[in-house]
Amino acid sequence: MSTGADSSREPPRIIVLCIGNPDRGDDAAGRAVARALRASPADVDIIEEEGEATRVLTRLEAADAAYIVDASVSGAPPGEIRRFDVSTDPLPRAAFGASTHGFGLAEALELARALGALPSRCVVYAIEGETFEIGAPMSPAVAAAVDIVAGRLRADILRG
Amino acid sequence: MIVKTIKVDQLARVEGEGALKVVARDGVVQSAELNIFEPPRFFEAFLRDRMYSEAHDIASRICGICPVAYQMSAVHAMEDALGVVVDGPLRDLRRLLYCGEWIESHTLHIYMLHAPDFLGYEGAIEMARDHADIVRRGLDLKRAGNSIIALLGGREIHPINVRVGGFYRAPRKRELQPLAEELKRARDWALATVRWTSGFDFPDVVRDYEFVALRGDGEYPFNQGRIVSSRGLDIAAAEYDEHFEETHVEHSTALHAHLKARGPYLTGPLARYALNAASLSPIAREAARDAGLGPVCANPFRSIIVRSVEVLYACDEALRIIDAYEEPERPAVDLEPRAGTGFAATEAPRGMLYHRYKLNPDGKIADALIVPPTSQNQPSIEEDLKIFATAWLDLPDDGLRHRCEQTIRNHDPCISCATHFLRLDVDRGG
């Protein structure tokens, strides 16, 4: 039932969680999406993380809706963009296992789900990476995908 | 002859990547090999020709779980080489930083990696579905450790505020107060953790380890102390190389460390506790007693209780340090480069971490040696497997494999550190 109190409620907290290491080739994809989104402000929190699972979990707990961007390693062509609605289904772990200590994004999402802390709207954009060399720039295919994902995220967020 | 081989190709819930091969003949385990196949990382060679002031930040990159330990062993060894002693509030702040790392690293291991073994879950996610409140408590406790490191170190992982001689910036006393409030809650969660883990079912086994740890002067060791053992070793860090040696084994890219006189030894929570239990704070001593630990715990499966006691101690010690803290006049002491060799051992969460550096007159590093805890514990972990697994050979393969993995997880090995995860091969014969 709608009451007068609803109008004073805080608006839903929407986060865009951009994960990656800016100094490891295509792992920078998520961080580059954060920069692209900041260039045209939207009413969302754009957060950058290196991907440590308990920190990701803390970010998810504090959000009503979360859009997550990360690089993937699944064998798909470099720069390929995939969108996963993880509100209902787990992320395929194999493509997001690139964490140094075996506890990455897929695990953070499932831990959040098990704890009842997963935002009701939770979408992951994966950009397939090609090179993860320390100090290397992003590959051209991934750099091109960054702008496309930023555009799709704006559309997602506006749609609500 | 009946031969049985068990292989685990990728060890789960350990830091890094390794494998395990156990070979049994006629119902007796003949060999157990922990294979570490991560490529060697050549950190010691990277350090050569860098300045003395850079080693701790480079070495800390060896590990994302215990970077503080690498920073602390490096700065203490450099200060030893340069003839400088860091004392007073700066020394206390280093202990406080180390408290943060123990809380963070131990809690991750207790809740996320080790407890699922005792409660019959595949991992932390499956455990969280049935025990959400407990897992939340673990995450909150770990966060308190992160908060210490973020406040003192500038960020939670690979802190950037440590320097040879002290810190770049020392915190104001008032900045530490919010941390104290979080740590008071964390101390309650840590006490609940000791009670929780002490109620697990443990295999009834004991081992005759030679325990090796630092012994502080009336304090539970983090940064300083003599290297002592349960069989009478009592040396300064500078004498480490005389008493210990590292050897290469074919099945691992990590070196194996031994006591020259007696062979394998164990470092880490069980060793620290056995050699320093009297120096725990009253609340930690009382919790250990109520958990039924006794003065020495030689059952590696019960290490989860000892780790929980150490988390409780770290929370309590952090609160003591914050309460007594007086802001130092300067955040670091002055240093002049000079030629020399420096030695230091500090207590990383998983065990003693030894560093040795030789410096040229201009302060550049001529030679570096780093002996991480997992290299030291690897021979004892293999002996655990060899001794325990014989009794488990009648278990179905899955059960046997799980027990073997648990035996390794008892010691929270950080394979990434040691190389410089797990396949299990069990050869039972037949």
Across the range A45-74, mean pLDDT stands at: 89
| Nearest CA-CA partner of A15 in A156, A114, A110 | A156
Distance CA(B137)–CA(B193), nearest Å, equals 9
Distance CA(B271)–CA(B198), nearest Å, equals 18
Phi, psi of B19 (to 5 degrees): -140, 170
pLDDT score recorded for residue A14: 92
| Nearest CA-CA partner of B380 in B308, B303, B320 | B303
Q: How far is CA A20 from the centre of its chain?
A: 9
Residue B401, pLDDT above cutoff 90: no
Distance CA(B102)–CA(B37), nearest Å, equals 27
Which chain A residues are closer than 8 Å to B16 by Cβ?
101
Residue A27 to chain B, least CA–CA distance (Å): 17
* Residue B15 contacts residue B417 (beta carbons within 8 Å): yes
If you measure CA to CA, which chain B residue comes closest to A108?
B125
Residue B235, pLDDT above cutoff 70: yes
* Residue A68 contacts residue A122 (beta carbons within 8 Å): yes
Asked if the Cβ–Cβ distance from A111 to B124 is below 8 Å, we say: yes
Q: At what angle do helices B282-290 and B173-198 cross, to 10 degrees?
A: 10
* Residue B293 contacts residue B306 (beta carbons within 8 Å): yes
β B18-25/B423-428 pair status = parallel
Which chain B residues are closer than 8 Å to A52 by Cβ?
64, 156-157
For B14, other C-beta atoms within 10 Å of its C-beta total: 25
Across the range A48-68, mean pLDDT stands at: 89
Q: Touching check for B134 and chain A: CB below 8 Å?
A: no
Distance CA(B117)–CA(B112), nearest Å, equals 10
Distance CA(A32)–CA(A155), nearest Å, equals 18
* Residue A59 contacts residue A68 (beta carbons within 8 Å): no
Distance CA(A53)–CA(A31), nearest Å, equals 17
Mean pLDDT in chain B? 90
pLDDT score recorded for residue B418: 45
Residue A32, pLDDT above cutoff 60: yes
Residue B419, pLDDT above cutoff 50: no
Q: What letter represents residue B47's amino acid?
A: L
| Nearest CA-CA partner of B303 in B381, B186, B372 | B381
Which chain A residues are closer than 8 Å to B136 by Cβ?
115
Kindly tell me the burial class for residue B200, based on how many C-beta atoms sit within 10 Å of its own C-beta (0-12, 13-18, 19 or more): middle
Across the range B315-338, mean pLDDT stands at: 97
Q: How confident is the model at residue A99 (pLDDT cuts 50, 70, 90)?
A: very low
The position carrying tokens 């005792």 is: B118
Distance CA(A76)–CA(A82), nearest Å, equals 10
pLDDT score recorded for residue B123: 84
Q: What letter represents residue B83's amino acid?
A: G
Is residue B115 helix, strand or coil?
helix
How crowded is the C-beta side of B180, counted as CA atoms within 13 Å? 12
β A45-49/A14-19 pair status = parallel
Q: How far is CA B366 from the centre of its chain?
A: 27
Most confident region among A118-122, B121-125, B247-251, B423-427 by mean pLDDT: A118-122
Residue B208, pLDDT above cutoff 80: yes
Distance CA(A11)–CA(A21), nearest Å, equals 31
Asked if the Cβ–Cβ distance from A107 to B13 is below 8 Å, we say: no
Across the range B199-210, mean pLDDT stands at: 96
The position carrying tokens 């749609």 is: A159
Residue B291, pLDDT above cutoff 60: yes
Residue A122 to chain B, least CA–CA distance (Å): 18
| Nearest CA-CA partner of B349 in B40, B113, B38, B45 | B113
β B351-359/B365-371 pair status = antiparallel
ipTM score of complex:
0.76
List the strands of the sheet with B234-235, edge to edge: B212-215, B226-229, B234-235
Kindly tell me the burial class for residue B360, based on how many C-beta atoms sit within 10 Å of its own C-beta (0-12, 13-18, 19 or more): middle
* Residue A78 contacts residue A142 (beta carbons within 8 Å): yes
Between B281 and A44, the more confident residue is: B281
Distance CA(A126)–CA(A118), nearest Å, equals 18
Q: How confident is the model at residue B7 (pLDDT cuts 50, 70, 90)?
A: confident
Residue B290, pLDDT above cutoff 60: yes
Across the range B309-333, mean pLDDT stands at: 97
Which chain B residues are closer than 8 Å to A135 by Cβ?
none
Residue B136, pLDDT above cutoff 90: yes
Residue B394, pLDDT above cutoff 80: yes
Residue B354, pLDDT above cutoff 70: yes
Residue B326, pLDDT above cutoff 80: yes
The position carrying tokens 């090179």 is: A131
pLDDT score recorded for residue B37: 58
Interface probe for A, chosen from B66, B126, B139, B146 (most Cβ of A below 10 Å), is B139
For B137, other C-beta atoms within 10 Å of its C-beta total: 20
| Nearest CA-CA partner of B216 in B279, B142, B124 | B279
